[in-house]
Structure 1
Amino acid sequence: MTPALWGAVLGAVAGLGLVLVVARVATIRRTQLSLRVLPFVRDLPQVGRTPALRVASSSPTSAAAGVFGPILRSAADTVERVLGGSASVRRRLERAGLENSVHDFRVEQVLWGLVGFVLAAGYGLLRALTDPGSAVTSLVLCLIAFAVGVIARDNWLTSQATRRERQILVEFPTLAELLALAVAAGEGPVAALDRVVQRSGGELSRDLAKVLTDIRLGEPVSVAFDRLSASSGLPLVSRFAQGVAVAVERGTPLADVLHAQAADVREAGRRELIESAARKEVFMMVPVVFLVLPVTVLFAFWPGLIGLSLTVP
C-alpha cells in the first residue's frame, strides 16, 4: 500500500472515531425524563431517593464515563481493590459536600492518573527522540505518574473536605445567632430554621436546608438533627445538632443554647488564631531578620564607610 492510501485509511478511522464520540456525548447530554419530571414530584417522600430518578451529571467525568464506561469502571474497580478504604472515602465525600459515590470518585482517580500518564508519556516520547534506549525508564516513569495522579486526587478530596469545614466554622456563629434570634422572637424551631435557610447562603446553610427537607418529608426534628450530628466531621457542629435535638425533645430554652454555642465557636476561633500566631512566630521573624535588619544596618554604616574611604590618603 502506498503512503497516500495508508493516510486515507487512518484518516477514515480517526473520522469514524470522532463521529462515534460526538454522537455518544450528544446522547449523554440529552435531557432525561427524570430531569423533566422531578420538579413536579419533588415533594413526594420517595422521590429523589430512588436510583432511577437520579439526575445525570453533565460534568466531564460523567461524559468520559459514558463514552469509555466499561474500561473506566474496570480500572476504578482495580483501584478500589488496590487502595481500599471505601468507608474513609465515603466519609470524606460527605464532609466535602459532594454527591458523588465512591465508584464515581474512583473513576475520577483513574482520570487523574491517566492525565499524569499522558504527560509522562509525552515527556518519554520527547526523550526517546534523543535517547532511544530509555524506553524502560520512560515506562516506569509513566507508571509512577499514574500512581501520583491517583494519590493526588485522594489528597485533593481531603483538602476539599478541610476547606469546606473551615467555611462551616466561619459561618456557624452567624447562623447560630440568627437562629437564636428567630427562636427568641417566638418562632418554632422549624419556622426559624426555614427563615435562616432562606436568608443565608453557604455550606452550613446547605446542610441545614437538607435537614429542613427531611423534616418536611415527615422526619422528626430530633432525628434529622441527630443525622446531621452523625454526618458532620466537626465537633462544634455535632454539639450544635445534638443541642438542638435535646432542646426540642425536652423543651429546654433553645435560644440560650444557640447563643452559648455561638459564643463557644467564636472563643474557639480566637484561641486557634492565637495558637496559629504563636506557631508561626519564628516564620514571622524571617522577613525582619533577613530583609529589614540588613537594610537598616546598611543605611547605618554605609555613610561611615564612604567617609572613611574619602578621608584615608
Structure 2
Amino acid sequence: MNSASAVAFAVLTGGTMGGGLILLLAALPRWSAVPLARRIAPYLRDVVAEEDLPAGARPRQGILPAGDHRLWTRAQGLFGRALGGSDALRLRLAQSGSAIEQSAFRGRQLGWVLAGIAAGALVLIAAAVWGRMSPPIALAPALLGAAAGVGYDMLLTALVRSRRRRLTDELPTTLEFLALCLSAGEGFLDSLRRVAAVGSGEMTSEFRRVVLAAGTGSSLADALAEMSRRLELPGLTRAIDQVIAALEHGAPLASVLHAQAGDAREDAKRVLIEQAGRKEILMLLPLVFLILPLSVLFAIYPGLFILRLGIG
C-alpha cells in the first residue's frame, strides 16, 4: 500500500467514523432547560402569528412521525439562506405547478448536492487507490456537488418553462370557451366553474384554484389578480385586467373575452413565426458544417486520387 492509498483509506475510515459520531450526537436527548420562548409560546398563539412562533412550539403535521429531524431541518435552513431568493423560488414552484413547499425543494436540492459530493469522494478515493491522482480529480467532490445542485435547479426551470408554454397554448381556447358560456347566458363565476369542471389541462387547473378561492371567501377579482401575479403570462395578465375592468364597469364580458382570445392567438402566431426563424438558422448548421464539407470532399477526392496515381 503506497502513501496515496493510505491517505485515501484514512479519509474513508475517518469520514465514516465522523459521520457515525454526528448521528449519535444528533440522536441524544437535549439535557439543557427548555427556552422561555418555547415554554410560553403555546399560551400566546391567539395573539402571535404562526410564523413568529418558535419551530418547536407549533404542532407537527403528518402521519406517524418517525423521529426528530432537527439536524436535517437546520441544514435545510442554512442551505436555503446560503442560496437566497426565497420569494423567487416560491414563485417558480407555483409556476411549475408543483405541490412541494420551498423547504422541501431546498431539502431535495441539498440531498442532490450531498449525493454529488459522495460520488466525487468515491471517484477521488478510487483515483488515489489506482494511483491516478491529479489536481482536477481532487476537485471532483466540489464540482460534482455543485453540478448536482445546479442540475436540480435547472430541472425546476425546465418544468416552469414547459408549463408556461402549455398555459400559453391553452389560453385562447379557454377564453373562447368562457366567452361561449357567457354568450349562453351564464354568469362569469358559473362559466369559470363550468370550464374548470369540464376542461382538462393546466389552464383549467388554475381556474379550479380560482373557483375554490372564490368559494372560500375571496372576491373573484382578487382571485383572478392573484392567479395573474403567480403565473406572469403576458396574454393572461392582459385578459384578466380587461375582465376585472369589465366587472367593475359592467361592460359585456363575452365581447371582451372574444377580443382577448383573438389577441392571444395573434401572440401565439407571432411566437411561432419567431421560433420558425430561429429554427431556420439552426437548420443551416448541419448544412454548413456537415453536408457542404462532405460534398466538397466527394468532389475533390477522386481528382486527388487520380493525381496520386499519375493517370491523365
> Aligned ranges for residues 144-159 of structure 1 at < 5 Å?
144-159=143-158
Cα distance change on mapping 1:293 and 1:139 into 2, 3 Å? closer
Pairing 1:254–2:250 present: no
Q: Match for 1:237: what amino acid?
A: L
Partner of 2:142: 143
In structure 2, what is the Cα distance between the partners aligned to 1:137 and 1:76?
Answer: 29
SS in 1 for 2:159: helix
Cα distance change on mapping 1:308 and 1:80 into 2, 3 Å? closer
For residues 174-201 of structure 1, what are the alpha-carbon distances to aligned partners after superposition, in whole Å with 9 as ceiling and x for unaligned?
1111111111111111111111111211
Partner of 2:4: none
CA apart distance, 1:71: 3.1
Partner of 1:127: 127
Question: Contact 2:124–2:133 at 8 Å: present in 1 too?
Answer: no
The worse-fitting range, judged by mean Cα deviation, of 285-294 and 207-216 is 285-294
Q: CA RMSD in A?
A: 3.5
Q: Match for 2:211: what amino acid?
A: L
Q: Match for 2:251: what amino acid?
A: T
Give the length in aligned residue pairs: 257
CA apart distance, 1:154: 2.0
In structure 1, what is the Cα distance between the partners aligned to 2:67 and 2:73?
Answer: 11
Q: Match for 1:194: what amino acid?
A: R
CA apart distance, 1:81: 2.3
CA apart distance, 1:277: 2.3
Partner of 1:200: 199
Partner of 1:117: 117
For residues 17-68 of structure 1, what are the alpha-carbon distances to aligned partners after superposition, in whole Å with 9 as ceiling and x for unaligned?
9xxxxxxxxxxxxxxxxxxxxxxxxxxxxxxxxx979777xxxxxx9x9678
Partner of 1:161: 160
> Aligned ranges for residues 1-313 of structure 1 at < 5 Å?
69-131=69-131, 140-293=139-292
For residues 154-180 of structure 1, what are the alpha-carbon distances to aligned partners after superposition, in whole Å with 9 as ceiling and x for unaligned?
222222211111110011111111111
Question: Contact 1:176–1:258 at 8 Å: present in 2 too?
Answer: yes
CA apart distance, 1:127: 1.3
In structure 1, what is the Cα distance between the partners aligned to 2:68 and 2:147?
Answer: 22
For residues 124-159 of structure 1, what are the alpha-carbon distances to aligned partners after superposition, in whole Å with 9 as ceiling and x for unaligned?
22212212866x876642133222222222222222
Cα distance change on mapping 1:119 and 1:308 into 2, 3 Å? closer
CA apart distance, 1:221: 1.6
Cα distance change on mapping 1:132 and 1:71 into 2, 3 Å? farther
Cα distance change on mapping 1:68 and 1:172 into 2, 3 Å? farther
CA apart distance, 1:292: 4.8
Q: Match for 2:219: what amino acid?
A: P
SS in 1 for 2:267: helix
Q: Match for 1:257: what amino acid?
A: V
In structure 1, what is the Cα distance between the partners aligned to 2:212 and 2:259?
Answer: 26
For residues 79-116 of structure 1, what are the alpha-carbon distances to aligned partners after superposition, in whole Å with 9 as ceiling and x for unaligned?
12211111111111111122322211210111111221
Q: Match for 2:260: what amino acid?
A: Q
- What is the aligned-residue identity percentage? 34
Question: Contact 2:123–2:140 at 8 Å: present in 1 too?
Answer: no
CA apart distance, 1:228: 1.4
Question: Contact 1:225–1:244 at 8 Å: present in 2 too?
Answer: no
In structure 2, what is the Cα distance between the partners aligned to 1:302 and 1:80?
Answer: 61
Question: Contact 2:120–2:144 at 8 Å: present in 1 too?
Answer: yes
- Structure 1 gap segments, 5+ residues each: 1-13, 18-50, 57-62
SS in 1 for 2:217: coil
Question: Contact 2:95–2:160 at 8 Å: present in 1 too?
Answer: yes
CA apart distance, 1:273: 1.7
In structure 2, what is the Cα distance between the partners aligned to 1:112 and 1:89?
Answer: 17
Q: Match for 2:72: what amino acid?
A: L
Q: Match for 2:84: what amino acid?
A: G
- Structure 2 gap segments, 5+ residues each: 1-19, 24-57
In structure 1, what is the Cα distance between the partners aligned to 2:136 and 2:290?
Answer: 44
Question: Contact 2:127–2:133 at 8 Å: present in 1 too?
Answer: no
Question: Contact 1:120–1:141 at 8 Å: present in 2 too?
Answer: yes
Q: Match for 1:73: what amino acid?
A: T
Cα distance change on mapping 1:68 and 1:297 into 2, 3 Å? farther
CA apart distance, 1:78: 1.7
Q: Match for 2:167: what amino acid?
A: I
In structure 2, what is the Cα distance between the partners aligned to 1:141 and 1:308?
Answer: 53
In structure 2, what is the Cα distance between the partners aligned to 1:257 and 1:212?
Answer: 20
Cα distance change on mapping 1:102 and 1:213 into 2, 3 Å? same
In structure 2, what is the Cα distance between the partners aligned to 1:291 and 1:141?
Answer: 35
